[in-house]
């Protein structure tokens, strides 16, 4: 490069260099990226951040590696664009792999840029978003590249629960690199272009003989429905990045701030008459709990997380009275709303995230128990169910639960009952809070009387009715102080908002300890 000697020339030289960096390696590489249905790193950043807010860090960074022809290929940015900007006016740090440069592969300089931006995010107390589209470690740089991933893992762990971390998968992510998004709070994927796996189809075929495609092994739908790795999946990058912006609008910048609140247009005192038709009084009839959430929250607007995984429980972020809340809700439309291994893990992770970022919890309960079965027991429902119990017991944010209908056995306790520390517990007059359903209880308690009766079925029906009248009427738990009140379903929204207003300044301290040892 020929260096100019007068000031205006040097400024023009800088402008030219910056334009070269902005364009990237070549028009051909950009066309190849677009041909795959993918945007470039800078195009993605422009969609993610508020217009004109991006401030790039180290755009002129180049690697210093030699060997395997690297000394002749030293592109600016080294395959990753890093910096900060704003989303709806709030600071956000971002790094984006540039697949046009070394396939987005991570080398030493590349990793150091990411380390720096992660350190800056933690220092500034702002979320960090990674736009992932890379081929893993840069093989030509050997162990230096692997060490770079180690630095990312360490920083991500240190930032966990301190600043929100969001991974957006926009291309391949294989091998050890897949652990970087796995350590973050949320993972977004785009259908058809993003995959994640530890070992690819070729290795799987060589080791196990199984034939499978890249998408079949680690595509977006697989991780949304089967593995639970992906929290959100979309058909295109534009929609995906717009939803990342929406998620960021519901999260605080860090764990020392409260989530952003807004003026609510939806009246606090709005009665929810539709609930009387949405929820059948008969506990054996199914309904969609998402319709209940829609009726309760501001303007019917909420962001469901893990929508397609463990569908027997719903977790979502929404607003009530303008304040962000985390909703955990049984889903009677799927497996009757029972708790199983996947549902317990899904809800536990969500409760921990909400607690880390000062998001109050609202739990809507209609749960018949834990899912019975040999596979559930052998696969560890005890320890997995304990994860949800631990998460609730450890949470210090405001916690309110509402029992709509059933709440049986251990599942009643686990779903944020008063006995494990819920601040306020309410129930509808259709509630049945008990050790088990009336039919099952009568069969256990009155087994001999039923067997010896001249008409066993008539005796069973009479004893079931007797048990329900004595121990399962809707005011039984309230009479014993295990509920704060039985409420009119149409008043649920206003009860929740007024309760959250009262609990807004809640402060609770946990015992002094290095950290807990949650069930694994």
Domain positions in the chain are 24-249, 274-431+474-503
Q: How far is CA 110 from CA 72, 92, 169, 211, 447, in A?
A: 17, 20, 18, 34, 70
**Mean of the per-residue pLDDT values of the chain:** 91
**The pLDDT of residue 17:** 82
Q: Do 138 and 266 touch, CB atoms closer than 8 A?
A: no
Q: pLDDT tier at 493 (50, 70, 90 boundaries)?
A: very high
- If you average pLDDT over residues 304-324, what whole number do you get? 98
pLDDT above 70 (res 2): no
Q: pLDDT tier at 1 (50, 70, 90 boundaries)?
A: low
**The pLDDT of residue 438:** 65
Q: Do 389 and 413 touch, CB atoms closer than 8 A?
A: yes
Q: Decide which of 491 and 7 is more confident.
A: 491
Q: Do 332 and 292 touch, CB atoms closer than 8 A?
A: no
268-272, 318-322, 436-440: least confidently modelled range: 436-440
Q: pLDDT tier at 176 (50, 70, 90 boundaries)?
A: confident
**The pLDDT of residue 469:** 73
- Which among 251, 428, 279, 261 is positioned nearest to 350, based on CA atoms? 251
Active site residues: 175-176, 410-411
Q: pLDDT tier at 15 (50, 70, 90 boundaries)?
A: confident
**For residue range 44-80, what is the model confidence (pLDDT) as tens digits?**
999 999 999 999 999 988 877 767 767 767 788 888 9
**The pLDDT of residue 144:** 81
Q: Decide which of 451 and 322 is more confident.
A: 322
**For residue range 258-298, what is the model confidence (pLDDT) as tens digits?**
999 999 899 999 999 999 999 999 888 999 999 999 999 99
R_g (Cα) of the chain, nearest Å: 27
Dist. CA 396–CA 420, nearest whole Å: 12
Q: pLDDT tier at 90 (50, 70, 90 boundaries)?
A: very high
Q: Do 362 and 326 touch, CB atoms closer than 8 A?
A: yes
Instruction: Tell me if residue 121 falls in helix, strand or coil.
Output: helix
> What's 134-185 look like in SS3?
CCCECHHHCHHHHHHHHHHHHHHHHHCCCCCEEEEECCEEEHHHHHHHHCCC
Q: What is the DSSP code string of 188-212?
A: EEETTT-EEESS-HHHHHHHH----
**The pLDDT of residue 441:** 66
Instruction: Tell me if residue 368 falls in helix, strand or coil.
Output: coil
Q: How far is CA 153 from CA 125, 147, 206, 341, 476, in A?
A: 18, 10, 29, 27, 51
- Which among 361, 367, 373, 403 is positioned nearest to 487, based on CA atoms? 403
**The pLDDT of residue 471:** 67
Q: pLDDT tier at 200 (50, 70, 90 boundaries)?
A: confident
CATH of domain 24-249: 3.90.226.10
**The pLDDT of residue 442:** 65
Asked if the domains at 24-249 and 274-431+474-503 fall in one CATH topology, the answer is yes
Rounded percentage of the chain residues whose pLDDT exceeds 70: 97
Neighbours of 516 (CB within 10 A): 10
**The pLDDT of residue 91:** 98
Neighbours of 377 (CB within 10 A): 12
Q: pLDDT tier at 351 (50, 70, 90 boundaries)?
A: very high
Sort 5 into a burial class: Cβ within 10 Å, 0-12 / 13-18 / 19+: exposed
Dist. CA 81–CA 121, nearest whole Å: 15
Q: Decide which of 446 and 327 is more confident.
A: 327
- Domain 274-431+474-503 is of which CATH architecture? Alpha-Beta Complex (3.90)
pLDDT above 70 (res 109): yes
Instruction: Tell me if residue 16 falls in helix, strand or coil.
Output: helix
What is the value of pTM for the model shown? 0.92
**For residue range 449-489, what is the model confidence (pLDDT) as tens digits?**
777 778 878 877 777 777 777 767 788 889 889 999 999 99
Q: How far is CA 170 from CA 134, 216, 233, 255, 504, in A?
A: 9, 17, 11, 28, 38
- If you average pLDDT over residues 19-39, what whole number do you get? 88
Q: Which two structure tokens, joined as six digits, stand for 395?
A: 């949470």
- If you average pLDDT over residues 110-118, what whole number do you get? 94
């Amino acid at each position: 490069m020929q260096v100019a000697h007068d000031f205006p020339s040097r400024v023009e030289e800088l402008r030219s260099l910056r334009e070269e960096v902005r364009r990237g390696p070549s028009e051909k590489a950009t066309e190849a990226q677009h041909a795959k249905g993918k945007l470039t790193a800078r195009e993605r950043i422009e969609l993610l951040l508020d217009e004109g807010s991006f401030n790039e860090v180290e755009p002129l960074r180049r690697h210093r590696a030699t060997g395997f022809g690297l000394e002749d290929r030293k592109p600016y940015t080294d395959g990753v664009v890093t910096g900060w900007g704003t989303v709806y006016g709030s600071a956000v740090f971002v790094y984006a792999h540039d697949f046009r440069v070394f396939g987005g592969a991570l080398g030493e300089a590349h990793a150091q840029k990411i380390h720096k931006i992660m350190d800056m995010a933690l220092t500034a107390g702002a979320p960090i978003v990674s736009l992932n589209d890379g081929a893993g470690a840069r093989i030509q740089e050997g162990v230096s590249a692997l060490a770079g991933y180690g630095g990312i893992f360490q920083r991500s762990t240190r930032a966990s629960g301190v600043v929100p971390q969001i991974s957006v998968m926009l291309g391949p992510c294989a091998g050890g690199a897949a652990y970087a998004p796995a350590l973050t709070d949320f993972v977004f994927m785009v259908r058809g272009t993003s995959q994640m796996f530890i070992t690819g189809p070729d290795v799987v075929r060589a080791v196990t003989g199984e034939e499978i495609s890249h998408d079949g092994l680690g595509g977006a739908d697989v991780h949304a429905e089967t593995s639970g790795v992906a929290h959100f999946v979309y058909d295109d990058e534009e929609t995906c990045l717009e939803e990342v912006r929406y998620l960021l609008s519901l999260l605080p910048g860090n764990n020392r701030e409260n989530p952003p609140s807004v003026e609510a247009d939806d009246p606090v005192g709005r009665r929810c008459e539709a609930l009387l038709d949405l929820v059948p009084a008969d506990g054996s009839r199914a309904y969609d709990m998402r319709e209940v959430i829609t009726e309760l929250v501001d303007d019917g607007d909420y962001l469901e997380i893990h929508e397609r995984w463990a569908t027997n429980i719903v977790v979502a972020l929404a607003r009530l009275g303008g304040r962000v809340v985390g909703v955990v809700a049984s889903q009677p439309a799927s497996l009757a709303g029972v708790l199983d291994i996947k549902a317990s893990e899904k809800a536990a992770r969500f409760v921990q995230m909400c607690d880390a970022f000062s998001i109050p919890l609202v739990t809507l309960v209609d749960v018949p128990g834990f899912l019975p079965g040999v596979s559930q027991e052998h696969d560890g429902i005890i320890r997995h169910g304990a994860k949800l119990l631990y998460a609730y017991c450890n949470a210090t944010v405001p916690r309110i639960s509402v029992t709509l209908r059933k709440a049986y056995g251990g599942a009643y306790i686990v779903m944020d009952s008063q006995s494990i520390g819920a601040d306020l517990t309410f129930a509808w007059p259709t509630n049945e809070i008990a050790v088990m359903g009336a039919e099952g209880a009568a069969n256990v308690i009155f087994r001999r009387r039923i067997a010896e009766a001249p008409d066993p079925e008539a005796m069973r029906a009479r004893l079931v009715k007797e048990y329900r009248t004595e121990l399962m009427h809707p005011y039984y738990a309230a009479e014993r102080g295990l509920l704060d009140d039985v409420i009119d379903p149409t008043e649920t929204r206003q009860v929740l908002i007024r309760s959250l207003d009262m609990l807004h300044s809640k402060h609770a301290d946990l015992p002094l300890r290095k950290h807990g040892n949650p069930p694994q």
